[in-house]
Structures are given as C-alpha cells and as structure tokens.
Amino acid sequence: MLVFIGVLSVVLAIVGIIIPLLPTTPFLLLAAACFIRSSDRLYRWLVSHRWLGPYIKNYREHKAVTRRTKIYTLLLLWGTLGFAATWVTSAFAIRVLLLIVGVGVTVHVLSLKTLTPEMLSGKRESEEKQG
C-alpha cells in the first residue's frame, strides 16, 4: 500500500510541475516518506533523481525552494488561471474563485524561503568539517 501511495504521489508531483495548482514538493515529500518505510530502492531512486531529488533535498535541509522554481510556478499559475478566466469560463463567480486561488497560491509560494548559494555552501562547509 505504501509503495502504491508513493508511486501515485510521484505521478501527482510530476503533474504538479506542469499544472501549477498541484503542489510538487508536498507530493514528493509524501512519496519519500512512503518509500523510506516500504522500499529502500525506490527511496534511493527518488532522492537521487536528477530532477525530483533536489526538491526533496532543498526542502528537507533548508525549508526552501529555488528562485527559478518560484518564478516558474508563478508564471505557470497565472498563465493557466488567465487562460481559464479568459477562454474557459465567462462566469463571474468562477473568475473570482480563480483569482482567490491564484492569490492564495502566490502568497504561499512567496512565503517559502528562497534557496541561496550561501545555504548550499553553508551545508557543504559543515559536511566538510564533519568529514
């Protein structure tokens, strides 16, 4: 069951990279939690994955996301919402709802710390002192 939930979470996270209303990092964290309890092989694959691994590592170690991730997320979010409000619906209530969702997601994304080179170098320096 944990492997199934983990795989489903990875799929949703990948969809979340493309569709900004789905959160990527929480799904990846859920997948990592499921895999660490059920499949060491899948956990190692996930955290060492070229594209997915850094989401987990940066959030786990620094509670931060990259500036690029923030910009990409917000551009996709507002592009998608703008398209939906302009071409998909003409209902005023739906447009207001899209605006509220957009503002909420924007506030959340901007409230996350931005990963800086200092965060990464500070981590490397502490690892070098221990090693």
pLDDT in tens, 41-73: 999 999 999 989 988 888 888 888 888 888 888
Helix (H, G, I), strand (E, B) or coil at 60: helix
Residue 122 has pLDDT above 80, yes or no: no
Q: What does residue 66 show for φ and ψ, rounded to 5 degrees?
A: -70, 155
Residues whose CB is less than 8 angstroms from the CB of residue 74 and which lie 6 or more positions away in sequence, other chains included: 20, 106, 109
Task: Output the pTM of the full model.
Answer: 0.66
Instruction: Identify the weakest region by mean pLDDT among 18-27, 69-78, 86-95.
Output: 18-27
What's the pLDDT at 23?
76
Q: Report the pLDDT averaged over residues 75-89.
A: 89
